[in-house]
Amino acid sequence: MSILVYISGEHAGAKASHEAVTYAKKLGSDVVVVASGNSSDLADLGTYGASKVLVDANVSDADSRQITALVAKAVEATGADTIIFSHDLISKAVAPRLSVRLKAGLVSGAVALPEGDKIKVNVFSGKAFGYVTVKTAKKIIALLPNSISPEATGSACPVENFDAGTGNAAVKVVDKKIPEGEVPLPEAEVVVSAGRGLKGPENWGMVEELAKLLGAATACSRPVADIGWRPHHEHVGQTGLAIRPNLYIAIGISGAIQHLAGVNGSKTIVVINTDPEAPFFKAADYGVVGDAFEVVPKLIEAVKKFKG
Amino acid sequence: MNILVCISKAPDTTSKIAFKDGNTKFDETGVQYIVNPYDEWYALVRALELKESNGGNVTIITVGTAADEAVIRKALAIGADDAVRIDVNPVDAFEVASQIASYAKENNYDLILTGKETIDFNGSQVGSMIAESLDLPYVALASKLDLNGQTLRLEQEISGGIQVLEVNYPAVVSCAKGMAEQRIPNMRGIMAARTKPLKVVPAYASETYTSFESFSLPEAKKAVKLIDPNNMDELVSLLHNEAKVI
Ligand SMILES: Cc1cc2nc3c(=O)[nH]c(=O)nc-3n(C[C@H](O)[C@H](O)[C@H](O)COP(=O)(O)OP(=O)(O)OC[C@H]3O[C@@H](n4cnc5c(N)ncnc54)[C@H](O)[C@@H]3O)c2cc1C
């Protein structure tokens, strides 16, 4: 089976991209990557199983029509019957378009390799799983980040220019601001999150310090983002981001059903809350009943000691 | 400016998620349906704001059965001018998108808005599929949308940062948090909604590409292990040795 994986050059070095290529390698023998935008990280995708990378440096990541045309052309060139995306912002714009263009059923939010003809996906914002079948000859799978572990077993692969002739971008990027050194929340392995229990934005210093020590991303509950204590992109839950890190530490968050929906795919959950009746403890692996303002500084000291 | 807002119903966020018929169907017993929050809070409200400052018309459209009309009336109460229901009980996102695209082809819209995803199937597919069917530009998960002549100026949140985009309309945009503030319908809106036009359109020919065969619930968690707040060394050691996550 020939498998094609779409990767944005800009994200070629990201763990989610390594996961997508690893997933493809487990599905079929020949894995080709098609990339928009060049990057020195592309050759390294061979390590995860790609036999080669086809790159069109003239395609903009912001223009879903250009990327769709590029991937469709690569499907034609390789004869691929399965196309893999990482379920991120770009793939949310491109994979459905491609599904219409190729008449290929799209399975988005996959969390595991197919079992027979069924593919397991996250539904109800993480409260349940669905098993989807595809009726069309070609299929597209968009894989949720942190669903499988990247496996680096091969070596670097060739990167070839692939001119898809997609014309000019209709969507133009006029500005881009990305803070340096932050761990992006969707693919973070460890997340430190806090809620209204922290009383005010001035108290987030300890949350950020703990996150930094653990190499973690920071997140928050919805009311905290709504009142403007934290930026919107940190809001996790049913109406925010759904995440599935290895470790989720919830500080001063009650654990409302809408919050749990976005985080209960986490492998291990630690809850710190003054209220022993807080619903979050029912969803937690480890719980600390105590005041965050006393517990978190102690946890920071303990992590420092552990890290030596 | 004529705006089409795609509305889906979704189970209320406090609904108990359960399945029936051998885990092949969502169990709707006791489930209250609401307008999918992203469609209502962001797409619809932003459409109304654009209409208020630029004039035009806001039409909502849903692909569903007569049972969905309560949800349509709610969206009308918030302020949409009129509504369209395409009479299909849809099987997958492609079917929803092709129905809406067929309708939109016959009626010109400057802007088609959707929510970022539904909170039940979380597919994030419909907007992009409509855009492809109509050969229009598409921007996913916009957190801001402003109008500047023939150009839309949009923001997207990317990896903790912000990206600003420009595209000429007609276009399709999916709407995420940040774009608008939730509006609570008032009594006048609710009364007015009862008499606003709701057109029922028969199904267009369309296909389906995927289907949900079955569902399952996550395994129940083991009981929480409580740790003495004065012994954070123990927590760190458990996270390292037992959970193996740090
Ligand atoms: C349609 C809808 C969608 C929603 N979507 C989301 C969503 O996506 N994400 C989300 O998070 N919420 C969502 N909500 C809101 C949700 O219902 C809760 O209101 C919210 O999650 C509560 O946030 P919180 O836990 O930070 O605050 P609270 O419920 O106020 O809880 C604060 C917690 O902090 C504890 N606490 C107080 N002081 C301390 C201290 N010193 N140390 C330790 N603990 C302390 C308290 O015991 C309490 O448990 C949604 C609601 C609706 C209706």
**Ligand 1 contacts CB of residue A288 (under 6 A):** no
Assess contact for A166 and A123: CB atoms under 8 A.
no
Q: Which atom of ligand 1 is nearest to the CA of B34?
A: 1
**Ligand 1 contacts CB of residue A47 (under 6 A):** no
pLDDT, tens digit, for every residue of B139-163?
A: 999 999 999 999 999 999 887 789 9
Q: How far apart are CA B225 and CA B109, in angstroms?
A: 56
User: What are the structural domains, with CATH classification, of chain A?
Assistant: 2-161 (3.40.50.620), 185-307 (3.40.50.1220)
Average pLDDT over residues B225-240: 97
State pTM to two decimals: 0.93
Which residues of chain A, if any, have pLDDT below 70? Answer: 180-181
Q: Residue B216: its pLDDT value, please?
A: 97
Distance from CA of A157 to the nearest CA of B (A): 27
User: What are the structural domains, with CATH classification, of chain B?
Assistant: 2-218 (3.40.50.620)
pLDDT at B130 over 80: yes
Kindly determine whether residue B229 and residue A294, on different chains, have CB atoms separated by under 8 Å. Answer: yes
B240 vs A contacts (CB less than 8 Å): 306
Q: Residue A181: its pLDDT value, please?
A: 67
Kindly determine whether residue A173 and residue B119, on different chains, have CB atoms separated by under 8 Å. Answer: no
A97 vs B contacts (CB less than 8 Å): 128-129, 131-132, 138
**Ligand 1 contacts CB of residue B13 (under 6 A):** yes
Nearest CA in chain A to B98: A100
A261 vs B contacts (CB less than 8 Å): 13, 119
What 3-state DSSP class applies to A10? helix
Closest by alpha carbon to A284, among B243, B70, B20, B190?
A: B243
pLDDT, tens digit, for every residue of B211-228?
A: 999 999 988 888 999 999
pLDDT, tens digit, for every residue of A215-244?
A: 999 999 999 999 999 988 899 998 888 899
**Ligand 1 contacts CB of residue A90 (under 6 A):** no
What spacing in Å lies between the alpha carbon of A301 and ligand 1's midpoint? 27
Give the residue whose CA is nearest to atom 41 of ligand 1. Answer: A291
Select from A83, A101, A106 the residue whose CB has the most chain B CBs within 10 Å, as the one to mutate to test that interface: A106
pLDDT, tens digit, for every residue of B160-180?
A: 789 999 999 999 999 998 899
Q: Residue B126: its pLDDT value, please?
A: 98
CB neighbours of A79 closer than 8 A, spacing ≥ 6? A2
Give the residue whose CA is nearest to atom 18 of ligand 1. Answer: A256
Kindly determine whether residue B229 and residue A185, on different chains, have CB atoms separated by under 8 Å. Answer: no
Give the residue whose CA is nearest to atom 27 of ligand 1. Answer: A196
- Give the strand pairing for B25-26 and B19-20: antiparallel
Distance from CA of A22 to the nearest CA of B (A): 21
Which amino acid appears at position A216 of this protein? Answer: A
**Ligand 1 contacts CB of residue A126 (under 6 A):** no
Q: Residue B221: its pLDDT value, please?
A: 81
Nearest CA in chain B to A171: B167
**Residue B91 burial class via C-beta count within 10 angstroms: exposed 0-12, middle 13-18, buried 19 and up:** middle
What spacing in Å lies between the alpha carbon of B224 and ligand 1's midpoint? 19
Closest by alpha carbon to A222, among A238, A208, A210?
A: A238
Kindly determine whether residue B19 and residue A128, on different chains, have CB atoms separated by under 8 Å. Answer: yes
Q: Which helix (H) or strand (E) holds B200?
A: strand B198-202
Average pLDDT over residues B22-27: 97
B132 vs A contacts (CB less than 8 Å): 68, 96-98, 100-101
What spacing in Å lies between the alpha carbon of A254 and ligand 1's midpoint? 5
Closest by alpha carbon to B1, among B106, B108, B110, B84?
A: B110
pLDDT, tens digit, for every residue of B33-88?
A: 999 999 999 999 999 999 999 999 999 999 999 999 999 999 999 999 999 999 99
Kindly determine whether residue B13 and residue A238, on different chains, have CB atoms separated by under 8 Å. Answer: yes
Q: Which atom of ligand 1 is nearest to the CA of A194?
A: 26
pLDDT, tens digit, for every residue of A256-288?
A: 999 999 999 899 999 999 999 999 999 999 999
A122 vs B contacts (CB less than 8 Å): 122
Q: In what order do the strands lie in the sheet with B82-87?
A: A172-177, B161-168, B151-158, B138-148, B171-175, B111-115, B2-6, B57-64, B82-87, B198-202
CB neighbours of B57 closer than 8 A, spacing ≥ 6? B2, B3, B51, B81, B82
Nearest CA in chain A to B36: A239
How far, CA to CA in Å, does B180 sit from each of A87, B34, B41? 25, 18, 7
Say yes or no: A290 contacts chain B, CB-CB below 8 A.
yes
Q: Which atom of ligand 1 is nearest to the CA of A199?
A: 38
ipTM above 0.90, yes or no: yes
**Ligand 1 contacts CB of residue A196 (under 6 A):** yes
Say yes or no: A237 contacts chain B, CB-CB below 8 A.
no
What spacing in Å lies between the alpha carbon of A260 and ligand 1's midpoint? 10
B165 vs A contacts (CB less than 8 Å): 62, 171-174
Closest by alpha carbon to B13, among B42, B33, B38, B43?
A: B33
Average pLDDT of chain B to the nearest whole number: 96
Q: Which helix (H) or strand (E) holds B234?
A: helix B232-237
Quote the DSSP letter at residue B40.
I
Q: Residue A160: its pLDDT value, please?
A: 97
Kindly determine whether residue A178 and residue B161, on different chains, have CB atoms separated by under 8 Å. Answer: yes
Nearest CA in chain A to B156: A89
